[in-house]
Chains A and B, each alone.
Chain A
Amino acid sequence: MANSPHRVVDSYRYLNPASRAIVKTMIALSPRDRLPWTPLPRPLSEATVALVSTAGLSMLADSPFDAEGERQNPWWGDPTYRILPRTATEADIVASHLHIEIAYIQQDLDVALPLRRLAEAEAGEESVDAAVFIPV
């Protein structure tokens, strides 16, 4: 399937029927609260960009997310976060996500947290740090 400027992304493309049913139910039950909104006050080229990920990434030197806690209690997810420096690569990190194949991130961090790609785009403009959360 080729790229298309008119593509409408299929949210359920990779989900099996059971997962689709769960997600659709979650969507239907989501509260319709007023959406938060902060307008971008300046051009992106003049802004500081931070990347926030739910890929469960932590630095090797840091404590990992508590995967064992989730194994013991499937209803629970580690609510903490980690900070990754802009120089982090796949050689520096641990991926603790229990719901996805992490091998791709372990090969190339930029598939999920594009620090190198953003640094390339920076070229003296934005600065980058990254905060990582575990998905709930």
Chain B
Amino acid sequence: MIPDLSAAAGAPRVAAIEFPFGRPLGQPNDAATQRAVLHATLDALQGASRPGTVVHLPFAWPEAPDQVHWRPKEPSPIVRLLARDPTMFQRLARLAGGDIPPEASRRS
């Protein structure tokens, strides 16, 4: 996950874990890991004593990053848009600064 972004977005407490997107608690049917992550997360969040606390959980994902399958089969709409028009990168990046394009408020 992206704890740096969570912290920058203003989350008062962050439990950071180096697991891939879509599986923050672990692999399917790995109840032991899921249970351990949940308990560590609750402990971290309960123990935070001031805003801006980021606790780095100790869990390691067993696959190398280039072996991890987390992207969808179909590229997301924004990824397809950026592939067609790379100049949109800056526009996307400015979203976090409050520069919301008018299109974002319209369904279509």
Contacts and interface: CB of A to CB of B under 8 A. Distances in A.
Contacts of B103: 73, 75-76
A23 B5 contact: yes
A11 B72 contact: no
Interface string A4-17: 11111111111100
B48 to A, nearest CB: 8
B96 A112 contact: no
Contacts of A60: none
Interface in A19-46: 21-23, 25-27, 29-31, 33, 35-38, 40, 43-44
Contact of A9 (B17, B28, B89): B17
B97 A30 contact: yes
Chain A facing B: main interface SS = loop
Contact of A70 (B25, B71, B77): B77
B10 to A, nearest CB: 6
A9 B38 contact: no
B3 to A, nearest CB: 6
A36 B84 CA distance: 39
A136 B74 CA distance: 18
A87 interface: no
Interface in B1-44: 1-5, 8-12, 16-18, 20-29, 31, 34-35, 37-39, 42
A104 B23 contact: yes
Contacts of A8: 56
Interface of B: 1-5, 8-12, 16-18, 20-29, 31, 34-35, 37-39, 42, 46, 50-52, 56-62, 65, 68-74, 76-82, 89-90, 92-98, 101, 103-108
9 contacts: A7-B56, A9-B16, A13-B18, A25-B94, A33-B10, A37-B50, A111-B24, A118-B38, A121-B35
Interface of A: 1-15, 18, 21-23, 25-27, 29-31, 33, 35-38, 40, 43-44, 49, 55, 66, 69-77, 97-102, 104-105, 107-108, 110-112, 114, 116-118, 120-121
